[in-house]
Chain A
Amino acid sequence: MKFCERFFATKSSIIHELDPRAKLGLILLVTMVSIKLESFVCLIILALVLLICMYLAKIFKESLCLLKHFVVILGVVLSVSIIVRDINQTVCTGSFFARLFVMTTAGLLLALTTSPNDFAKALEKMRIPRPITFIFTTTMRFVPTLLKEVEAVMDSLRLRGLRLRGRDILKTPSSFYRGICIPLTVRSIKISDELAATAETRGFGSPNKRTSLREVKFRKNDHIFLFTMVVLSITLLIVDKGVAIPW
């Protein structure tokens, strides 16, 4: 539950207030630039800039909780490469992980600072059909509910003396199907039926052009943010190509 709540942005910061499309643009930009960059140092600079953005967004702590696993894996792989004294492999692995780190950080910047509702509104502005964006927000809303349902089903099974762990699913798939799939399917169908009925009674399906209480709009800050990131990316690309940094 706690894990899910991280994604339902409730904080407020200069990054939270950016248009989700600006943050989507950042992901695209960072992905392209990180693939193009060859220098490990340039990749690290890019990662540092994104970490500063995270700091500004007040999501440093939550992000580190998620990114720490990533850093541990990187540490293990680099250690092995250094132990076997394969410098090329070390550089390659380091760059690969640095790229992945940069892309993940940009993704987290979007996920942890954008409410699913704003994201859906941004998608609608990008001409994604309303039924699709509605499914997206509703799914996000019901992730915590479904986790609660799973927890309740697992508790019920334990009370009947049946404990299903990962390996039990492979060993006794019929127990998994009966014990978890059936109750969860029944509950999910019931909830989706109720949801469909509620949606109808709230005017979903009305042919009127939908309006929005909080409109998602590209503002001055979005332009400044994207412009800064583009300038930084171009600078890094020039440095990467022009300056002979050995890594």
Chain B
Amino acid sequence: MVDPVIVTENLTYTYPNSNEATLKDVDLEVKKGEFVLITGKSGCGKSTLARCMNGLIPHLFGGKMDGRVLIHGKDTKKHPTWELARHIGLVFQNPESQLFTLAVEDEVAFGPENFGVPREDIEKRVDWTLTSVGMNEFRFKPVFNLSDGQKQRVAIAANLSMLPDILVLDEPTSNLDPKGAREVFGVLKYLKEEHKKTIILIEHRTNYAVGYVDKVIIMDSGEIALTDSPGVLFKAQLLKKFGVRAPEPIFLFGDANQHVASENHDMLKTENLSYAYDGNGLAIQRVDMTIQKGETVGIMGPNGSGKTTLVKHFVGLLKPNEGRVLVDGIDTQKADVSMLAEKVGLVLQNSDHQLFMDSVYNEVSFGVKNMKSEKEIEERVEDVLRTMDLWRLKDRHPHSLSDGEKQRVTIAAVLTRRSDVLILDEPTSGMDGYHMDLLVDKLSELKKSGLTMILVSHDIEMISKLAPRTVVMSEGKIVNDGPTSEIIQHF
């Protein structure tokens, strides 16, 4: 009989300034060496549970916590977070905001240094952890030159160097491309098999996890709805009920192929396009592509392959170093961003950068005010808000909304301008199955209205549902361009 290393008993938690409990009577036991996947809809309490395990709740976040959490028998309420850090490590979603220092070695040494570990031991720990995550060759490199996948591996090493038995990872692969995600899962497999670490993985993307985990916990509205073996991830109806994404992408080419593009109307065209950022090599080179009016195209490829650089050319944020870009026949060299923004709307990945008005209504109506009569603007804004299911939220401050709602606001802001083209950059990053289906439904409606769409994403499932054509980029070049159903065979 293996003793549990994590126990939660009747755990109920309410954040400060909130009336509703985020966790409700959560009872959980995790045994030593287990690899547990915790999944569920956004806002179901997964990350909050992780914070409770590390003592960040209640020590850092405050709020009202009832019940208790025991880590190796230690009550988290009675032990400060730094003390629990010896037993339990936490890797966050955003690699950028969990690395403090400038060099890989310093980052990994940071934890043991805080605990006053002797220098010789720190040296050994840095050696061991960097070898474990396959980052030893980067030991003296600056962290900001690493890819996101490499940063995430450094974050894992930085936790391991404190020699915890338990590692909690909160959506560690949300920002990663498939290669980066596979790298992280390779490390987790090694830690479980070779070092018998207990691993708690919080993830929306179940496709990588399914081959590794021993147990699956599905959460819903702050409660544990289900605890089962990994086989539960293949019960499609059950997953749909809890808004969890299936490990095997559900491809719906039939629906996607119903779309008809206008003939002989080149909406977007690049001719021999090359671009280099200051002092660096070519980010994209000799790209030739044409997108017809009404077409929906997926653009895929690893991080740094030039996808975002390419689409920024369609709105004039970047101008070609060589070749040219035509938007509905207009050469982007001769047009400024505000003019192109009337034709092409680009929704960037992070909604927080794009919201600055005091209400959803004002956010969506911003930018059309000087162009039309007041009545026409009101009608247009209402129409778009209703289409995007935002009318009920029109008076809310945009930054008070959930991530999914914020994203819909940014799309609505583009639609209000009646752009001919909508470009979405990583629209489903960190999104659960329920919200992905909602977004796909909305985009399908827009597609039927004749809007030209480009979807830049790693999400094969979402692209297969919407885009009949997919362009694959690698190292700044188009390496494949064809029907999505054929392209997907290579993934």
Contacts and interface: CB of A to CB of B under 8 A. Distances in A.
B146 interface: no
A200 B122 contact: no
Interface in B85-126: 85-86, 89-90, 92, 94, 96-103, 105-106, 109-119, 122-123, 126
A211 B111 CA distance: 10
Given A117-B106, A141-B102, A206 B144 contact: no
Interface in B360-411: 366-367, 399
B348 interface: yes
Q: How large is the interface on A (under 10, 10 to 19, 20 to 34, 35 or more residues)?
A: 35 or more
B19 to A, nearest CB: 21
B317 interface: yes
Contacts of B357: 178
Contact of B353 (A153, A200, A209): A153
A152 B110 contact: no
Interface in A153-203: 153, 155-163, 178-180, 182-183, 186-187, 190-191, 194-203
Contacts of B346: 159
A138 interface: yes
A137 interface: yes
Given A152-B350, A160-B413, A178-B357, A117 B114 contact: no
A156 B354 contact: yes
A178 B105 CA distance: 40
B115 A203 contact: yes
Nearest to B141: A10
Contact of B85 (A5, A10, A186, A202): A202
B94 A202 contact: no
Nearest to A9: B102
Nearest to A213: B109
Contacts of B141: 10
B399 A194 contact: no
Chain A interface, DSSP helix/strand/loop, else mixed: helix
A191 to B, nearest CB: 5
A205 B81 contact: yes
A190 B60 CA distance: 14
A162 to B, nearest CB: 8
A208 B114 contact: yes
A145 B151 CA distance: 14
Interface in A98-155: 115-117, 134, 137-138, 140-141, 144-145, 149, 152-153, 155
Given A178-B357, A196-B60, A197-B51, A190 B115 contact: no
Contacts of A137: 100-102
A10 B144 CA distance: 12
A208 B115 contact: yes
A203 B312 CA distance: 41
Contact of A202 (B158, B315, B354): B158
A198 B356 contact: no
Interface in B312-359: 312, 315, 317, 337-338, 341, 345-346, 348, 350, 352-357
A137 to B, nearest CB: 6
Contact of B352 (A190, A196, A213): A190
Contacts of A194: 92, 94, 97-98
A225 interface: no
B338 A163 contact: yes
A160 B122 contact: no
B175 to A, nearest CB: 13
Contacts of B341: 158-161
Contacts of A115: 102-103
B85 A201 contact: yes
Contacts of B472: none
A156 B353 contact: yes
B107 to A, nearest CB: 9
Contact of A117 (B101, B279, B355): B101
Nearest to B413: A160
B353 A213 contact: no
B142 A201 contact: no
Nearest to B122: A213
Given A160-B367, A182-B356, A213-B126, A200 B85 contact: yes
B399 A186 contact: yes
B157 to A, nearest CB: 12
Given A196-B60, A202-B100, A211-B122, 18 more contacts: A117-B106, A145-B97, A156-B353, A159-B315, A161-B341, A162-B367, A179-B356, A182-B355, A200-B54, A200-B59, A200-B82, A203-B162, A205-B80, A209-B116, A210-B116, A211-B118, A213-B109, A213-B122
